[in-house]
């Protein structure tokens, strides 16, 4: 690939994919231009680029989706080509065509190929003619509710509603019985319209236990086409992938060849160029069905790179420059096994609700030939409501699946983030649970194994050591702060000892400790002392449980000995609290301020927004009687819809925000009156 002609490339994206493209471009000696919104002025991808051009305000519709501004930036900086990454303009045929008209190379397929696959219904028809197996379903143009409902009734439930112009799980709903159809269709149409500007739907038979297996294809303009094997992307939440692996477990050579050749036929059917992914559903009986083709680089492309030894972005640049594919099919081979885990700012225990905030502490695992971290953020950056809450992609490789899985577990334990909830602990449980280790995979994996993945609380976690470790940290931090105070004052003052000294009394300190969602009354008594911190021993007691602890602090590193068991942990400050990271997971903790007699201020009667977002729709009228659990209002945040439901039988008194308005997390979005309570009574908030 030494003949690559581009001297300067503009990356029309942000975050980790922009940084990832820049790394390859830099290795190849290509200059890079970044674009950015107001929210990303100081972002990592902006700092990495040779130049950067401002596009507009934070919302993507005013910045990253403004194709004309991106092209202006390319002209202004002399970029010969535009790499769209994934998302935003990557599958926008109009933008691809505009690039060609401007004499700027679009590093992706031609507009006609994007258009062919941009409509799921049209794509199904093309695939049928190309001999690619299809899932039974309705892919017609008629979009009347009655037409769609009849198609679903005729094929039998469950069915899957999918946005014709969709992708990434947007505009998609499962319908398990006829009575759910209307509500599911309305929700899917709203989400599809908001995400793609198109509310058209197709209806497919829903396979209850399939695997999601996709094939990486590559084509050049000289007529060559190859497949770079498969990825298993079955483990998903809300139809969005969270752990991917390559190769797919249990794949035979014959099935791999059959799926790969079908994927190449699909690409050739639309005169494809560049990197693409053909996604299939694989039934337990070995039958596979075309689902869709993504005409871009996939989020999970690193696992293919790890097992093939190829740089797919370098391949993209070569093909876009008119070169032939670097390798033929018989020159490609699989080496080892790779996993990718997507690190999100979200709360898995709360239906994976997206989170926003500042990355107050960020410590990724060390990278090596076995561990790779693709990210677009550094410590101190913000996760914004305007974009996807993806923080990073953690990719691991080893010679075998078992070896790669062991490396994944270790790397997840070494990935430490403070300042907002993340899915890291959830991913660690998932990667270590017996069904995943045994590769018993299907797209319903999370729901099927919910009890394993969301275990009932049994103490404060971290193998039961969280309370004594948190207590030990507070004791050692108090002593450290005392020394700092003494260094700036009277070194002999007893007030600077901070060790609980009392005349003729035991050295005792009382803490009100909040660990996770629980409060603990903790008593710490010094029972042995020496010249160094690690020689000072304490008895830490909560109720009828007691531990002997001692240890030392070195910056953010805590080593502690709990009843003779030596442990290592990291403690990071964020906001008004701390997060303790240990071998068994992580947990937030903080001191609870003393009760000085102030009366608690109760929240009003409003139902609160669970996150920053935009009001999409009111589903009831003020004064209308509703039952407990009824959806009252729909919000959208980070490209996903979230419903606010009635906490009891009652009625909405008033809405405080109208559709289209922005809402901050915690704001009361409506007033709710419980049935049987008069206007002067208590109202219920959630």
Please write the tens of the pLDDT for every residue from 276-324.
999 999 998 899 999 999 999 999 999 999 999 999 999 999 999 999 9
Give the count of beta carbons closer than 10 Å to the beta carbon of residue 639. Answer: 19
Beta-bridge partners for 673: 651
Q: Does residue 168 have a cis bond before it (omega within 30 degrees)?
A: no
Taking the CA atoms of residue 177, residue 180, residue 186 and residue 188 in that order, the dihedral angle to the nearest 10 degrees is -50
CB 442 within 8 A of CB 207: no
Q: Is 170 or 571 the better-scoring residue by pLDDT?
A: 571
| pTM, 2 dp | 0.79
- Supply the mean pLDDT for the chain: 88
Lowest-pLDDT range, 87-101, 107-121, 402-416, 528-542? 528-542
353-399 pLDDT tens trace: 999 989 999 999 999 999 999 999 999 999 988 999 999 999 999 99
Cα–Cα distance measured from residue 269 to residue 423, given in angstroms and rounded to the nearest whole number: 40
Cα–Cα distance measured from residue 581 to residue 299, given in angstroms and rounded to the nearest whole number: 28
Largest CA distance in the chain: 92
List the helix and strand counts (H, then E) for the chain.
17, 39
Q: Which of 446, 86, 102, 142 is nearest to 275 (CA)?
A: 86
Pull the structure tokens for residue 115.
């258009």
Q: Is 433 or 527 the better-scoring residue by pLDDT?
A: 433
Is residue 160 pLDDT above 50, yes or no?
yes
Sequence ranges of the chain with CATH classification 3.30.700.40: 462-591
Look at domain 8-107 and name its CATH class: alpha beta
**8 a catalytic residue:** no
Cα–Cα distance measured from residue 351 to residue 453, given in angstroms and rounded to the nearest whole number: 12
CATH number of 211-453: 3.30.470.20
Cα–Cα distance measured from residue 182 to residue 234, given in angstroms and rounded to the nearest whole number: 28
CB 90 within 8 A of CB 109: no
Lowest-pLDDT range, 501-505, 516-520, 530-534? 501-505
Q: What pLDDT band is residue 643 in, cutting at 50, 70 and 90?
A: confident
Where b means 16+ CB within 10 Å and e means fewer, 173-205 reads bebeeeeebeebbbbbbbbbbbbbebbbbbbbb
Is residue 504 pLDDT above 70, yes or no?
no
Sequence ranges of the chain with CATH classification 3.30.470.20: 211-453
Best CATH choice for the domain 606-674 from the list 2.60.98.20, 3.40.50.300, 2.40.50.100, 3.40.605.10: 2.40.50.100
CA-atom Rg of the chain in angstroms: 28
Is residue 273 pLDDT above 90, yes or no?
yes
Is residue 400 pLDDT above 50, yes or no?
yes
Cα–Cα distance measured from residue 674 to residue 653, given in angstroms and rounded to the nearest whole number: 10
Q: What pLDDT band is residue 498 in, cutting at 50, 70 and 90?
A: low
DSSP-derived secondary structure for 339-404: EEEEEESEEGGGTTEE--EE--EEEPPPP-SSEEEEES--TT-EE-TTS--EEEEEEEEESSHHHH
* Local structure of 8: helix, strand or coil: strand
Please tell me the CATH superfamily of domain 136-205, with its number: ATP-grasp fold, A domain (3.30.1490.20)
pLDDT at site 573 = 85
User: Strand 371-375 to strand 390-398: parallel, antiparallel, or no bridges (unpaired)?
Assistant: antiparallel
User: Strand 613-618 to strand 631-637: parallel, antiparallel, or no bridges (unpaired)?
Assistant: antiparallel
Could you say which of 173, 237, 256, 296 is catalytic? 296
Cα–Cα distance measured from residue 319 to residue 558, given in angstroms and rounded to the nearest whole number: 51
Distance of CA 596 to CAs 119, 346, 589, Å?
63, 35, 21
Q: Which of 679, 545, 546, 661 is nearest to 622 (CA)?
A: 679
Distance of CA 51 to CAs 8, 40, 516, 686, Å?
10, 14, 44, 47
Q: Determine if residue 416 is left, alpha or beta; phi over 0 gives left, psi from -120 to 50 gives alpha, anything else beta.
A: beta
Q: What pLDDT band is residue 415 in, cutting at 50, 70 and 90?
A: very high
Q: Does residue 158 have a cis bond before it (omega within 30 degrees)?
A: yes
Q: To which residue do tokens 């200059």 refer?
A: 31
pLDDT at site 484 = 53
Is residue 168 pLDDT above 70, yes or no?
no
Which residues lie closer than 8 Å to 311 by C-beta, 6 or more apart? 24, 305
Sequence ranges of the chain with CATH classification 3.40.50.20: 8-107
Cα–Cα distance measured from residue 80 to residue 21, given in angstroms and rounded to the nearest whole number: 15
pLDDT at site 203 = 95
Write out the H or E segment, with its range, that includes residue 446: helix 445-448
Give the count of beta carbons closer than 10 Å to the beta carbon of residue 78. Answer: 12
User: Strand 346-347 to strand 353-354: parallel, antiparallel, or no bridges (unpaired)?
Assistant: antiparallel
Q: What pLDDT band is residue 612 in, cutting at 50, 70 and 90?
A: confident
Distance of CA 241 to the CA centre of its chain: 9
Q: Which phi and psi (to 5°) does residue 83 adopt?
A: -100, 120
Give the count of beta carbons closer than 10 Å to the beta carbon of residue 311. Answer: 18
Is residue 585 pLDDT above 60, yes or no?
yes
Q: Which phi and psi (to 5°) does residue 612 adopt?
A: -65, 140
Pull the structure tokens for residue 645.
């439901």
Classify residue 506 by burial, with Cβ atoms within 10 Å: 0-12, 13-18, 19+.
exposed
pLDDT at site 4 = 59
Q: Which of 69, 87, 79, 73 is nearest to 15 (CA)?
A: 87
Cα–Cα distance measured from residue 274 to residue 297, given in angstroms and rounded to the nearest whole number: 9
Give the count of beta carbons closer than 10 Å to the beta carbon of residue 503. Answer: 5
Average pLDDT over residues 474-486: 73
447-459 pLDDT tens trace: 999 999 997 654 4
Does the structural domain 462-591 have CATH classification 3.40.50.720? no
18-35 pLDDT tens trace: 999 999 999 999 999 999
Average pLDDT over residues 191-197: 86
Q: What pLDDT band is residue 136 in, cutting at 50, 70 and 90?
A: confident
Cα–Cα distance measured from residue 80 to residue 4, given in angstroms and rounded to the nearest whole number: 12
DSSP designation for 42: T
Average pLDDT over residues 202-214: 91
pLDDT at site 632 = 93
Q: To which residue do tokens 């102030």 refer?
A: 598
pLDDT at site 607 = 82
Q: To which residue do tokens 């001191």 refer?
A: 591
Q: Is 619 or 139 the better-scoring residue by pLDDT?
A: 619
Q: Which of 613, 605, 655 is nearest to 635 (CA)?
A: 613
User: Strand 8-11 to strand 31-37: parallel, antiparallel, or no bridges (unpaired)?
Assistant: parallel
DSSP designation for 433: S
pLDDT at site 536 = 85
Cα–Cα distance measured from residue 599 to residue 605, given in angstroms and rounded to the nearest whole number: 18
pLDDT at site 606 = 63
547-561 pLDDT tens trace: 999 999 988 899 999
Is residue 568 pLDDT above 50, yes or no?
yes
57-67 pLDDT tens trace: 999 999 999 99
CB 227 within 8 A of CB 216: yes
Q: Is 144 or 663 the better-scoring residue by pLDDT?
A: 144
Q: What pLDDT band is residue 494 in, cutting at 50, 70 and 90?
A: low
The percentage of residues in the chain with a pLDDT greater than 70, rounded to a whole number, is: 89
Q: Give the 3-state DSSP-derived string for 84-140, with helices as H, strands as E and coil as C.
A: CCCCCCCCCHHHHHHHHHCCCEECCCCHHHHHHHHCHHHHHHHHHHCCCCECCEECC
CB 636 within 8 A of CB 616: yes
């Amino acid at each position: 690939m030494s003949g690559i002609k581009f001297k300067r490339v503009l990356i029309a994206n942000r975050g980790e994919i922009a940084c990832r493209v820049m790394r390859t471009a830099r290795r190849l000696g290509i200059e890079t231009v970044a674009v950015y919104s107001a929210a990303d002025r100081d972002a990592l991808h902006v700092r990495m680029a040779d130049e950067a051009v401002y596009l507009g305000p934070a919302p993507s519709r005013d910045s990253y989706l403004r194709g004309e501004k991106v092209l202006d930036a390319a002209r202004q900086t002399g970029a010969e080509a535009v790499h769209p990454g994934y998302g935003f303009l990557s599958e926008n045929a109009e933008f691809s065509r505009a690039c060609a008209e401007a004499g700027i190379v679009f590093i992706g397929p031609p507009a006609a190929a994007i258009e062919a696959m941009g409509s799921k219904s049209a794509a199904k028809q093309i695939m049928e003619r190309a001999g690619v197996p299809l899932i039974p379903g309705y892919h017609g143009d008629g979009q009347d509710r009655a037409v769609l409902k009849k198609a679903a009734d005729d094929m039998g439930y469950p069915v899957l509603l999918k946005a014709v112009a969709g992708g990434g799980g947007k505009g998609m709903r499962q319908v398990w019985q006829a009575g759910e159809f209307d509500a599911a269709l309305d929700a899917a149409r709203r989400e599809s319209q908001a995400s793609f500007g198109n509310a058209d739907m197709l209806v497919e038979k829903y396979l209850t236990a399939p695997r999601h297996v996709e094939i990486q294809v590559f084509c050049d303009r000289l007529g060559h086409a190859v497949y770079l094997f498969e990825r298993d992307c079955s483990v998903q939440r809300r139809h969005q992938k969270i752990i991917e692996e390559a190769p797919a477990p249990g794949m035979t050579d014959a099935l791999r060849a059959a799926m790969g050749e079908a994927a190449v036929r699909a690409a050739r059917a639309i005169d494809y160029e560049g990197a693409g992914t053909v996604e299939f559903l694989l039934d337990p009986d070995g039958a596979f069905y075309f689902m869709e083709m993504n005409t871009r680089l996939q989020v999970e492309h690193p696992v293919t790179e790890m097992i093939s030894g190829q740089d797919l972005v370098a391949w993209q640049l070569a093909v876009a420059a008119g070169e032939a594919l670097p390798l033929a099919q018989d020159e490609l081979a699989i080496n080892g096994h790779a996993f990718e885990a997507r690190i999100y700012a979200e709360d898995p225990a709360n239906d994976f609700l997206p989170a926003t905030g500042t990355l107050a502490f960020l410590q990724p695992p060390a990278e090596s030939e076995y561990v790779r971290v693709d990210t677009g953020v550094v410590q101190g950056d913000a996760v914004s409501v305007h974009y996807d809450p993806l923080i990073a992609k953690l990719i691991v490789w080893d010679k075998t699946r078992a070896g790669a899985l062991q490396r994944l577990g270790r790397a997840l334990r070494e990935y430490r983030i403070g300042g907002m909830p993340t899915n890291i602990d959830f991913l660690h449980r998932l990667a270590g649970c017996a069904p995943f280790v045994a590769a018993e995979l299907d797209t319903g994996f999370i729901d099927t194994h919910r009890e394993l993945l969301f275990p009932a609380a049994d103490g404060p976690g971290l193998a039961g050591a969280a309370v004594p470790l948190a207590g030990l940290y507070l004791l050692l931090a108090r002593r450290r702060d005392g020394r700092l105070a003494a260094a700036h004052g009277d070194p002999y003052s007893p007030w600077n000892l901070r060790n609980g000294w009392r005349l003729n009394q035991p050295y005792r300190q009382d803490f009100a400790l909040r660990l996770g969602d629980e409060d603990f009354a903790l008593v710490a008594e010094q029972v042995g002392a020496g010249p160094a911190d690690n020689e000072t021993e304490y008895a830490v007691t909560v109720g009828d449980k007691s531990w002997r602890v001692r240890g030392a602090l070195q910056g953010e590193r805590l080593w502690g000995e709990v009843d003779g068991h030596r442990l290592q942990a990291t403690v990071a400050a964020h906001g008004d609290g701390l997060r303790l990271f240990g071998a068994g997971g992580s947990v937030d903790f903080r001191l609870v301020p003393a009760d000085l007699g102030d009366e608690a201020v109760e929240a009003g009667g409003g139902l609160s927004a669970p996150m920053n977002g935009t009001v999409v729709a009111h589903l009831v009228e003020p004064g209308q009687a509703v039952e407990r659990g009824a959806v009252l209002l729909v919000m959208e945040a980070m490209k996903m819809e979230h419903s606010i439901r009635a906490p009891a039988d009652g009625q909405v008194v008033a809405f405080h925000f109208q559709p289209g308005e922005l809402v901050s997390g915690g704001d009361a979005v409506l007033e709710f009156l419980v049935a049987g309570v008069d206007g002067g009574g208590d109202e219920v908030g959630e």
